[in-house]
Structure 1
Amino acid sequence: MIELNDVTKSLNGHLVLDHISRTFMDGRIYGLRGKNGAGKTMLLRAIAGLINIESGKIMINGTQLHDGMDFPPSLGILIENNNLMPEYTARKNLQLLAKIKKVASDADIDATITRVGLDPDDKRTVKQFSLGMRQRLAIAQALFERPALILLDEPTNAIDTDGVNQVRTILLEEKARGATIIIASHTAEDLVVLADEIYDMAEGKIYESADTQD
């Protein structure tokens, strides 16, 4: 469970997260919708522990972020510029990441690459991939360790229609597994199809949307 209590963050004197309080539960998909600069990505970065907030608290299963833990302990993330290594294959990218936590096997890696519609035996390096293939691999790296918390920023960017449907199916499967999933997107259809709850963001503030399925 993720609890945000009066979270604020400023950049260059501008409030980019404006006293945000929300709770995100296990086994649900949450959507963040808004224009560029609305605060969606900044909120994901705060939950991921990638930035320090100025006031308020972010609690991960009862432990305060940056006061007892630096990052959520079981996290899959796709935010803005991904950390794919262009000189390596898809499989090698995930194998290198797997060495950090040592929770995913080679079989897990191959299964996840296949799951997102790529070939784990593809010998091409990531720099030879199309934008859509890179996005699929970025989604794979967010999922291959079966994290409890999944944060995705514009996950269907550059992916064709078949791929979008495939990604949506995968995220619903991850929800059924019990993961907490937060998706930031300016594409209304993705969120309406997937999210149990949708929040609109503007100027660092967060509002419940009329599109929330509940």
Structure 2
Amino acid sequence: MIQAADLPDTIPIFPLPGALLLPRARLPLHIFEPRYLAMLDDTMKTPQRVIGMIQPLAGPGGNRLTSIGCAGRLTAFSETEDGRYMITLTGISRFRLIREVDGFTPYRRAEVSWEGFSHDLSRTAEEDRAFCRERFLSLLARFFEARELSSDWQSLKEAEEELLINSLSMLLPFEPEDKQALLEAPTLVTRRETLVTLMEYALRGGGEEVMQ
């Protein structure tokens, strides 16, 4: 099990609206901007290979950031012929932003705190004992139909609770502030409850009555 003390106090950060990374989940990214290519090159030279994903706040300039993000370890990458990268980050732990750090890098870096997120570092998947898969998948099916989305339903039926809830939290088309609420949910139970609320709200907005 990784300890918070093993993680760096200062990490490169990647502000990307709507992109959500959660502990023990995987996020594929396509890197092509020069500043983030430089970030990736520098990250691969470090022992931890950590990059922090964080949401920018809406507003003039777009430089302000949310207070909580999630760090991932670079676990896969490939380079295209024109010098771009396809990478995968595997979520390690959420972090709290303390302050941005000035420096000579073209990308942004921040001092962060890992305090309060010790469970994120566990290798053991979190459980949701109140989870009713049948009811949840019924709601999900209606949401997919309303949004004209498709999926591998057999995989959804067989996936572990944490993998299912976290993967859907990352992949479903919600607004950035909704993604942030899913990130900040303190437990898997509250994340599932938030996810259900977001899907029900979306269905109500589409004119469909939602059964309680």
Larger Rg: 2
Common fold: TM-score over 0.5? no
Tell me which protein shows more strand as a share of its residues: 1
Alignment TM-score, normalising by the size of structure 1:
0.27
* Highest RCO, 1 vs 2 (Cα 8 Å, sep ≥ 6): 1
Tell me which protein shows more helix as a share of its residues: 2
Alignment TM-score, normalising by the size of structure 2:
0.27
